[in-house]
Structure 1
Amino acid sequence: MTERIVVGAALLDGGRLLAARRSAPEELAGRWELPGGKVEPGEAPEAALVRELREELGVDAEVIERVPGQWPLKSPYLLQVWTVRLLPGTPDPKPLQDHDALRWLEYGEVWDVDWLEQDVPAVREVAERLGAG
């Protein structure tokens, strides 16, 4: 079975991180994650991230850099996370697909939401950067 990449966006704005609350599937509903999705065959991960953010949040974003590491999801998927920022003039993110709420988290609030287990290591990495930033 070939590994498939799922991309997650550590969307940063003014020292805050965007968290998205899942509305589906049922077993994930109500938990928080970094927005993103599956990379399509032949698609670059960075391009998939820009596409997914447009589809899920209605925003135009720029991929900055990959967060070190990758984390196993349900086989055959692996999560890779990139830091991302909104392009100037893009509207505020809205939960268009798969989510029913969004929340901007300051550094001290990052652990106030119930993150999905697979997102925790990436969120920890990003939180360290926020704290240093």
Structure 2
Amino acid sequence: MKTVHVCTAIIHKGDAILACKRSDNHMNGWEFPGGKVEPHEKPEQTCLREIKEELNVELGPMFYYDTVEYDYPDFHLHMDVFISQLTADQTPLPRVHSELRWLSRNELMDVKWLAADTELVRGLGVMWEQLFWAEHL
């Protein structure tokens, strides 16, 4: 089975994280923004590039959070996950997504996440205070 290596950013702002709705033909659901790692590119570089391309914003310092391994019917997903915030007062623009939404901890399961993201989101709910306290970011 083909492996697809992607990177994604959990973007935190105030008491919420950014969720993005995909609307392409083969996958329809909510995800964290990011994309495929290019040859000779480090995961952190991928994350910064993809967020700029997809949302027209720049990220501040990032820290590695997790790696998700998930088997879709057509491919194996290897997803490196980072946590970050936006720099300055930026507003994400949905360039490749049909909708963006800031979700609080209590709203995390209000949207239908893509399969690979579901366990990741549940973990965020459990670890919310440890991950998003101000001094940590």
- TM-score of the superposition, structure 2-length normalised? 0.84
Show the counterpart of 2:39: 41
CA RMSD of aligned residues (A): 1.9
Show the counterpart of 1:59: 57
Aligned to 1:86, what secondary structure does the other structure show?
A: coil
Matched residue type, 2:27: L
Aligned to 1:130, what secondary structure does the other structure show?
A: helix
Q: 1:73 to 1:102 in 2, by over 3 A?
A: farther
Show the counterpart of 2:5: 5
Aligned to 1:61, what secondary structure does the other structure show?
A: coil
Which structure 1 segments of 5+ residues have no match? none
User: CA separation in 1, counterparts of 2:26 and 2:52?
Assistant: 25
Q: What's the offset of the Cα at 1:95? A: 0.5
User: CA separation in 1, counterparts of 2:34 and 2:71?
Assistant: 13
The question of 1:79 aligning with 2:79 is answered yes
Which structure 2 segments of 5+ residues have no match? none
Show the counterpart of 1:115: 113
Matches within 5 A, 1:10-29: 10-24=10-24, 26-29=25-28
Task: Give the fraction of aligned pairs with identical amino acids, expressed as a percent.
Answer: 33
Show the counterpart of 2:104: 106
Aligned to 1:67, what secondary structure does the other structure show?
A: strand
Q: 1:73 to 1:61 in 2, by over 3 A?
A: farther
Count how many residue pairs are aligned between Structure 1 and Structure 2: 129
User: CA separation in 1, counterparts of 2:60 and 2:47?
Assistant: 9
Contact map agreement 2:68 2:77 (CA 8 A) in 1 = no
